[in-house]
Amino acid sequence: MQTIEQLLESKNIRVTAMRLLIYKFLAQKQVAVTLSDVENAFEKADRTTLYRTVKTFEEKSIVHQIDDGTGITKYALCENGCNCEIETDLHLHFHCNNCNETICLTDHKIPQIKVPNGFISEDVNLVVKGVCDKCSGQ
């Protein structure tokens, strides 16, 4: 079990107080968060810092970006072994129309999608919308 400090350093990210806090915030969340969510959690910090921190995490493959169709970009921590950059590893995301939360269905991989001749598939974004387990009451 490596510490957060070790994880950041292994990705060539300088360890700062801000970054540790933001990492912990993301780790504690079970759902994908927007930048506003982060802002609300750290009201003393500046918008830009939070923005750039998350962007740094994204560049270094610590978080992945999620476009769930709400028009607002969300972010979630990559799990161990989450190779977001590899197409075949892409998992799908579920957006709840009721509570408006988006979660990673990490163990649900995206099926192979056929595209017409001449088209080259490099990336797939799949978002299922509906009602999540908490809201469906099941």
Partner DNA sequence: TCAATAATTGCACTTCCGTTGCATACAATT
Partner DNA sequence: AATTGTATGCAACGGAAGTGCAATTATTGA
- DSSP assignment of 37-99 equals HHHHH-TTS-HHHHHHHHHHHHHTTSEEEE--SSSS-EEEEPPTT--TTSGGGPEEEEEETTT
Q: Which stretch binds a second copy (CB under 8 A): 20-28, 29-37, 43-51, 66-74?
A: 66-74
* 40 is an interface residue for a second copy by CB under 8 A: no
CA–CA dist 40, 133 (Å, integer): 26
The two three-digit tokens of residue 34, written as one number:
């927007």
Q: How many residues bind DNA (CB under 7 A)?
A: 24
Q: Which stretch binds DNA (CB under 7 A): 11-19, 83-91, 93-101, 112-120?
A: 11-19
Q: Which stretch binds DNA (CB under 7 A): 7-15, 98-106, 115-123, 125-133?
A: 7-15
Instruction: Tell me whether residue 15 or residue 127 sits nearer to a second copy (CB atom).
Output: 127
Looking up tokens 């350093």 gives 9
Cβ atoms within 10 Å of 59's Cβ, excluding its own? 11
Cα-to-chain-centroid distance, residue 78: 6
Among 41, 45, 84, 132, binds a second copy (CB under 8 A): 132
Among 30, 80, 88, 117, binds a second copy (CB under 8 A): 117
Site for DNA, residues 82 to 121, rule: CB under 7 A: none
118 binds, among DNA, a second copy, none (CB under 5 to 8 A by kind): a second copy
